[in-house]
Amino acid sequence: MATTRVSNKTTYHHGDLKAVLLDETARILRDEGESALSLRRLAANVGVSRTAPYHHFKDKQSLLSAVAEEGFIRFNHTMQAVLEQGRGKGGERVMREYVNAYVDFAVNNSEYYDLMYGSQLWRSDSLASSLLSSARSTLRAEVERLQALQARGLISQTLDPLRFTQVAWGMLHGISRLLVDGIYTDAASASSICETAAGMLWQQLRE
């Protein structure tokens, strides 16, 4: 999401500084790339002392991990909204909307998505435990949702919710990554790909 730079220290409350720093970091990543990011540059952009960001983030790696966590929060809110709006609709239609929402989030929020699933953070020896927890809880919530649907007899009783979620996650991530990286560039084709993916996933849920 686009954010407005903060020009002086009095435009926000002290307790809001972490959120301001995260928003500005996301803006820099989106508009200028990671090479333009440093904690000193970040402090200057939001109008605080050079040391202020270090009260929240010990280094750049910690900052990027926090942005990734924010990405998971935004992603989960987006997907939950899709599911809530889909109540009363047919399951296949909800699946189409779910797939499209996932891919739309990745494409339109790549500054977050790149970090959420980026190798730079996940291969780090100092991977933040809170980021790991955010990713795992996202997966766990989807598994539990499918288990609840099974209990209500709305999807296949022979389905393995964990394996299905892992495969679906991999499929949607692959589509998203190809779009974010510019390998898939035709919007009509991307829409058709999402429709096909949704149909395949729904078929598996119903078998």
* Pair 14, 111 in one domain: no
Residue-range definition of the domain harbouring residue 193: 64-206
* Pair 35, 72 in one domain: no
* Pair 198, 146 in one domain: yes
* Pair 72, 48 in one domain: no
Domain termination site, one of 57, 77, 96 = 57
Domain termination site, one of 11, 27, 57 = 57
* Pair 189, 90 in one domain: yes
Confidence (pLDDT) at 193:
94
Confidence of residue 9 (pLDDT cuts 50, 70, 90): very low
For 45-90, what is each residue's pLDDT tens digit? 999 999 999 999 999 999 999 999 999 999 999 999 999 998 888 8
On the question of pLDDT at 2 being above 60, the answer is no
Confidence (pLDDT) at 126:
74
Confidence (pLDDT) at 128:
80
* Pair 119, 97 in one domain: yes
Which CATH number goes with the domain that contains 127?
A: 1.10.357.10
* Pair 5, 88 in one domain: no
* Pair 45, 113 in one domain: no
- SS3 assignment, position 112: helix
* Pair 28, 125 in one domain: no
**Separation between Cα atoms, residue 193 and residue 198, nearest integer Å:** 9
**Separation between Cα atoms, residue 183 and residue 66, nearest integer Å:** 28
Kindly give the residue spans of alpha helices, DSSP state H, lying in 109-186.
110-116, 119-122, 129-151, 161-180
Confidence (pLDDT) at 19:
94
Which CATH number goes with the domain that contains 21?
A: 1.10.10
Domains: count for the chain: 2
For 92-151, what is each residue's pLDDT tens digit? 999 999 999 999 999 999 999 999 998 788 888 777 888 889 999 999 999 999 999 999
* Pair 128, 199 in one domain: yes
* Pair 75, 48 in one domain: no
Confidence (pLDDT) at 122:
85
For 155-207, what is each residue's pLDDT tens digit? 999 999 999 999 999 999 999 999 999 998 887 888 999 999 999 999 999 98
* Pair 12, 110 in one domain: no
Q: Higher model confidence: residue 34 or residue 6?
A: 34
Kindly give the residue spans of alpha helices, DSSP state H, lying in the chain.
17-31, 39-46, 60-85, 91-108, 110-116, 119-122, 129-151, 161-180, 187-206
Domain termination site, one of 12, 32, 57 = 57
